[in-house]
Protein backbone atom coordinates (compact mmCIF):
# COMPACT_ATOMS: atom_id res chain seq x y z
CA UNK A 1 0.00 0.00 0.00
CA UNK A 2 1.08 3.57 -0.65
CA UNK A 3 -0.12 6.85 0.84
CA UNK A 4 -3.01 7.66 -1.51
CA UNK A 5 -3.31 11.19 -0.13
CA UNK A 6 0.36 11.81 -0.95
CA UNK A 7 -0.16 10.32 -4.43
CA UNK A 8 -3.14 12.55 -5.19
CA UNK A 9 -1.24 15.60 -3.94
CA UNK A 10 1.85 14.71 -6.01
CA UNK A 11 -0.07 14.32 -9.28
CA UNK A 12 -2.52 17.14 -8.56
CA UNK A 13 -5.69 15.06 -8.41
CA UNK A 14 -8.51 16.44 -6.25
CA UNK A 15 -11.51 14.67 -7.78
CA UNK A 16 -13.74 11.81 -6.60
CA UNK A 17 -11.99 8.67 -5.39
CA UNK A 18 -14.36 6.14 -6.89
CA UNK A 19 -13.29 3.61 -9.57
CA UNK A 20 -14.93 5.26 -12.57
CA UNK A 21 -13.71 5.82 -16.11
CA UNK A 22 -13.56 9.57 -15.41
CA UNK A 23 -11.24 8.96 -12.43
CA UNK A 24 -9.04 6.59 -14.45
CA UNK A 25 -8.75 9.07 -17.30
CA UNK A 26 -7.87 11.95 -15.00
CA UNK A 27 -5.13 10.25 -12.98
CA UNK A 28 -3.74 8.73 -16.19
CA UNK A 29 -3.51 12.23 -17.65
CA UNK A 30 -1.97 13.76 -14.55
CA UNK A 31 0.80 11.31 -13.58
CA UNK A 32 2.90 11.77 -16.76
CA UNK A 33 2.68 15.54 -16.24
CA UNK A 34 3.70 15.50 -12.59
CA UNK A 35 6.21 12.62 -12.40
CA UNK A 36 8.85 12.57 -15.11
CA UNK A 37 10.28 9.54 -16.84
CA UNK A 38 13.98 9.52 -15.85
CA UNK A 39 16.83 7.05 -15.38
CA UNK A 40 19.21 8.87 -13.04
CA UNK A 41 19.51 5.97 -10.59
CA UNK A 42 20.79 3.31 -13.03
CA UNK A 43 22.90 5.95 -14.76
CA UNK A 44 24.59 6.73 -11.42
CA UNK A 45 24.76 3.03 -10.46
CA UNK A 46 22.20 3.41 -7.69
CA UNK A 47 19.85 0.52 -6.94
CA UNK A 48 16.33 0.79 -8.34
CA UNK A 49 13.95 -0.55 -5.69
CA UNK A 50 10.40 -1.62 -6.53
CA UNK A 51 8.81 -2.25 -3.13
CA UNK A 52 5.88 0.09 -2.33
CA UNK A 53 7.70 1.97 0.44
CA UNK A 54 10.66 2.76 -1.83
CA UNK A 55 8.42 3.82 -4.72
CA UNK A 56 6.45 6.08 -2.41
CA UNK A 57 9.55 7.66 -0.89
CA UNK A 58 11.31 8.27 -4.20
CA UNK A 59 8.47 9.52 -6.37
CA UNK A 60 5.96 10.96 -3.90
CA UNK A 61 8.18 12.46 -1.21
CA UNK A 62 11.64 12.95 -2.75
CA UNK A 63 10.41 14.63 -5.93
CA UNK A 64 12.00 12.11 -8.27
CA UNK A 65 10.68 10.37 -11.37
CA UNK A 66 11.31 6.86 -12.64
CA UNK A 67 11.01 4.51 -15.59
CA UNK A 68 8.36 1.95 -16.53
CA UNK A 69 8.64 -0.47 -13.60
CA UNK A 70 8.60 2.35 -11.06
CA UNK A 71 5.97 4.47 -12.79
CA UNK A 72 3.51 1.70 -13.53
CA UNK A 73 3.92 -0.08 -10.19
CA UNK A 74 3.22 3.20 -8.41
CA UNK A 75 0.22 3.73 -10.70
CA UNK A 76 -1.02 0.19 -10.05
CA UNK A 77 -0.84 0.67 -6.28
CA UNK A 78 -2.73 3.97 -6.54
CA UNK A 79 -5.41 2.52 -8.83
CA UNK A 80 -6.01 -0.44 -6.53
CA UNK A 81 -6.42 1.87 -3.56
CA UNK A 82 -8.98 3.80 -5.59
CA UNK A 83 -10.88 0.55 -6.11
CA UNK A 84 -9.81 -0.49 -9.61
CA UNK A 85 -9.06 -4.06 -10.68
CA UNK A 86 -5.55 -4.05 -12.16
CA UNK A 87 -3.46 -6.76 -13.85
CA UNK A 88 0.25 -6.23 -14.45
CA UNK A 89 1.61 -7.17 -17.89
CA UNK A 90 4.87 -7.07 -19.86
CA UNK A 91 5.71 -6.05 -23.42
CA UNK A 92 8.44 -6.39 -26.01
CA UNK A 93 9.51 -2.94 -27.20
CA UNK A 94 9.37 -2.30 -30.97
CA UNK A 95 10.03 1.47 -30.95
CA UNK A 96 13.37 2.21 -32.65
CA UNK A 97 14.08 -1.52 -33.02
CA UNK A 98 15.07 -2.79 -36.51
CA UNK A 99 12.61 -5.23 -38.14
CA UNK A 100 13.30 -8.85 -37.28
CA UNK A 101 15.16 -8.07 -34.04
CA UNK A 102 13.64 -9.80 -31.02
CA UNK A 103 13.59 -7.92 -27.74
CA UNK A 104 12.98 -9.22 -24.19
CA UNK A 105 9.83 -8.47 -22.22
CA UNK A 106 11.46 -5.45 -20.63
CA UNK A 107 8.54 -3.02 -20.51
CA UNK A 108 5.81 -3.07 -17.86
CA UNK A 109 2.21 -1.98 -18.51
CA UNK A 110 -1.21 -2.40 -16.90
CA UNK A 111 -4.61 -3.81 -17.77
CA UNK A 112 -7.61 -2.28 -15.98
CA UNK A 113 -10.99 -4.07 -15.87
CA UNK A 114 -13.83 -1.59 -15.51
CA UNK A 115 -17.56 -1.86 -16.12
CA UNK A 116 -17.22 -4.89 -18.40
CA UNK A 117 -14.48 -3.32 -20.52
CA UNK A 118 -10.70 -3.76 -20.47
CA UNK A 119 -8.33 -0.82 -20.75
CA UNK A 120 -4.63 -0.57 -21.47
CA UNK A 121 -3.00 1.82 -19.00
CA UNK A 122 0.66 2.82 -19.21
CA UNK A 123 2.29 5.88 -17.62
CA UNK A 124 5.87 4.66 -18.12
CA UNK A 125 6.80 4.63 -21.82
CA UNK A 126 9.13 7.61 -21.96
CA UNK A 127 8.70 10.19 -24.69
CA UNK A 128 5.69 8.39 -26.19
CA UNK A 129 3.89 7.80 -22.91
CA UNK A 130 0.14 7.38 -23.04
CA UNK A 131 -1.81 10.22 -21.43
CA UNK A 132 -5.13 8.35 -21.43
CA UNK A 133 -6.26 4.74 -21.04
CA UNK A 134 -7.12 2.87 -24.24
CA UNK A 135 -9.88 0.37 -24.86
CA UNK A 136 -8.11 -2.93 -25.39
CA UNK A 137 -10.49 -4.48 -27.91
CA UNK A 138 -11.29 -1.39 -29.97
CA UNK A 139 -8.92 -1.76 -32.93
CA UNK A 140 -9.88 1.79 -33.87
CA UNK A 141 -7.90 5.00 -33.68
CA UNK A 142 -8.34 6.38 -30.17
CA UNK A 143 -7.84 10.01 -29.22
CA UNK A 144 -5.75 11.01 -26.20
CA UNK A 145 -4.78 14.46 -24.86
CA UNK A 146 -1.73 14.05 -27.10
CA UNK A 147 -1.36 11.85 -30.24
CA UNK A 148 -3.90 9.29 -31.49
CA UNK A 149 -3.13 5.70 -30.47
CA UNK A 150 -4.34 2.29 -31.62
CA UNK A 151 -4.39 -1.19 -30.08
CA UNK A 152 -4.45 -3.97 -32.68
CA UNK A 153 -5.14 -7.64 -32.01
CA UNK A 154 -2.67 -10.10 -33.56
CA UNK A 155 -3.63 -13.66 -32.60
CA UNK A 156 -2.92 -13.97 -28.89
CA UNK A 157 -0.92 -10.75 -28.92
CA UNK A 158 -1.70 -7.06 -29.03
CA UNK A 159 0.21 -4.27 -30.74
CA UNK A 160 0.29 -0.68 -29.52
CA UNK A 161 1.07 2.03 -32.02
CA UNK A 162 0.68 5.79 -32.29
CA UNK A 163 0.29 8.21 -35.16
CA UNK A 164 3.32 10.40 -35.83
CA UNK A 165 3.16 12.92 -38.69
CA UNK A 166 0.26 10.99 -40.21
CA UNK A 167 1.97 7.58 -40.08
CA UNK A 168 1.36 4.72 -37.61
CA UNK A 169 4.47 3.80 -35.63
CA UNK A 170 4.76 0.60 -33.56
CA UNK A 171 5.63 0.98 -29.89
CA UNK A 172 5.39 -2.50 -28.36
CA UNK A 173 3.78 -5.95 -28.50
CA UNK A 174 2.25 -7.73 -25.51
CA UNK A 175 -0.10 -10.48 -24.41
CA UNK A 176 -2.32 -10.85 -21.35
CA UNK A 177 -0.05 -13.13 -19.30
CA UNK A 178 -0.10 -11.76 -15.78
CA UNK A 179 3.27 -10.65 -14.42
CA UNK A 180 4.13 -10.89 -10.73
CA UNK A 181 6.56 -8.96 -8.57
CA UNK A 182 9.43 -11.44 -9.19
CA UNK A 183 8.95 -10.92 -12.94
CA UNK A 184 9.26 -7.16 -12.50
CA UNK A 185 12.30 -7.56 -10.25
CA UNK A 186 14.03 -9.65 -12.90
CA UNK A 187 13.26 -7.23 -15.73
CA UNK A 188 14.18 -4.25 -13.59
CA UNK A 189 17.52 -5.80 -12.63
CA UNK A 190 18.29 -6.45 -16.30
CA UNK A 191 17.52 -2.94 -17.59
CA UNK A 192 19.14 -1.18 -14.62
CA UNK A 193 22.42 -3.14 -14.53
CA UNK A 194 23.14 -4.72 -17.94
CA UNK A 195 26.25 -3.07 -19.41
CA UNK A 196 24.52 -2.48 -22.74
CA UNK A 197 21.23 -1.15 -21.32
CA UNK A 198 20.20 2.30 -22.53
CA UNK A 199 19.27 3.12 -18.93
CA UNK A 200 22.85 2.49 -17.80
CA UNK A 201 24.62 4.23 -20.68
CA UNK A 202 22.45 7.22 -21.61
CA UNK A 203 20.74 10.17 -19.96
CA UNK A 204 17.00 9.95 -20.60
CA UNK A 205 14.09 12.12 -19.59
CA UNK A 206 10.51 12.71 -20.69
CA UNK A 207 7.48 14.60 -19.49
CA UNK A 208 4.13 15.38 -21.09
CA UNK A 209 2.16 18.53 -20.50
CA UNK A 210 -0.83 20.09 -22.28
CA UNK A 211 0.05 20.78 -25.90
CA UNK A 212 3.60 19.42 -25.88
CA UNK A 213 6.07 16.76 -24.84
CA UNK A 214 9.60 17.24 -23.49
CA UNK A 215 12.27 14.63 -24.20
CA UNK A 216 15.93 14.46 -23.21
CA UNK A 217 18.45 12.13 -24.85
CA UNK A 218 21.97 12.60 -23.50
CA UNK A 219 22.64 16.30 -24.18
CA UNK A 220 19.81 16.93 -26.69
CA UNK A 221 16.55 18.48 -25.49
CA UNK A 222 13.52 18.06 -27.77
CA UNK A 223 10.20 19.84 -27.45
CA UNK A 224 7.45 18.22 -29.53
CA UNK A 225 4.26 20.16 -30.20
CA UNK A 226 0.91 18.56 -30.95
CA UNK A 227 0.86 20.25 -34.36
CA UNK A 228 3.80 18.06 -35.38
CA UNK A 229 6.46 20.71 -34.99
CA UNK A 230 9.59 19.94 -32.97
CA UNK A 231 12.47 21.98 -31.61
CA UNK A 232 15.84 20.49 -30.65
CA UNK A 233 18.69 22.05 -28.74
CA UNK A 234 22.07 20.80 -27.55
CA UNK A 235 22.66 21.63 -23.87
CA UNK A 236 25.76 22.21 -21.79
CA UNK A 237 26.11 20.71 -18.31
CA UNK A 238 24.53 23.68 -16.51
CA UNK A 239 21.62 23.68 -18.96
CA UNK A 240 21.16 19.93 -18.51
CA UNK A 241 20.84 20.35 -14.75
CA UNK A 242 18.43 23.26 -15.20
CA UNK A 243 16.31 21.28 -17.68
CA UNK A 244 16.07 18.30 -15.34
CA UNK A 245 14.91 20.56 -12.55
CA UNK A 246 12.73 23.05 -14.41
CA UNK A 247 11.26 21.25 -17.44
CA UNK A 248 11.24 17.71 -16.05
CA UNK A 249 10.51 18.80 -12.46
CA UNK A 250 13.01 16.34 -10.96
CA UNK A 251 14.47 17.14 -7.54
CA UNK A 252 18.22 16.57 -7.78
CA UNK A 253 19.26 16.72 -4.12
CA UNK A 254 21.79 14.15 -2.95
CA UNK A 255 22.55 12.56 -6.33
CA UNK A 256 26.28 11.96 -5.92
CA UNK A 257 28.13 11.90 -9.23
CA UNK A 258 25.39 13.68 -11.18
CA UNK A 259 27.42 16.77 -12.07
CA UNK A 260 30.32 14.76 -13.47
CA UNK A 261 27.86 12.65 -15.48
CA UNK A 262 26.25 15.79 -16.91
CA UNK A 263 29.68 17.15 -17.84
CA UNK A 264 30.40 13.89 -19.65
CA UNK A 265 27.17 13.97 -21.65
CA UNK A 266 27.54 17.67 -22.44
CA UNK A 267 30.93 16.94 -23.99
CA UNK A 268 29.30 14.60 -26.49
CA UNK A 269 30.51 11.22 -27.76
CA UNK A 270 34.09 10.35 -26.89
Alpha-carbon distance of 118 to 183, in angstroms, equals: 22
- Spatial strand order of the sheet with 230-234 comes to 37-38, 204-209, 212-217, 220-225, 230-234
Q: What angle do CA 127, 103, 59 make, to 5 degrees?
A: 40
Between the alpha carbon of residue 217 and those of residues 39, 129, 135, 199, 265, the distances in Å are 11, 15, 31, 11, 9
Q: b/e string for 71-90 if b means 16 or more Cβ within 10 A?
A: bbbbbbbbbeebebebebbb
| Catalytic positions | 68, 107, 122
Amino acid sequence: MIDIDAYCARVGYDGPRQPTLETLREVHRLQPQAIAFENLDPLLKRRVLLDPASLEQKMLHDGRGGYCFEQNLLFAHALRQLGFKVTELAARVLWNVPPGVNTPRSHMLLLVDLDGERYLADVGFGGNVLTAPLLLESGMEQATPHEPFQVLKDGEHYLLQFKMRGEWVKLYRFDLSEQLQPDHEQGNWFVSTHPHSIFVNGLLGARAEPGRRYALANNVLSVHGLNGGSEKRTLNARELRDALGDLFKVRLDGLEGLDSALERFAAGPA
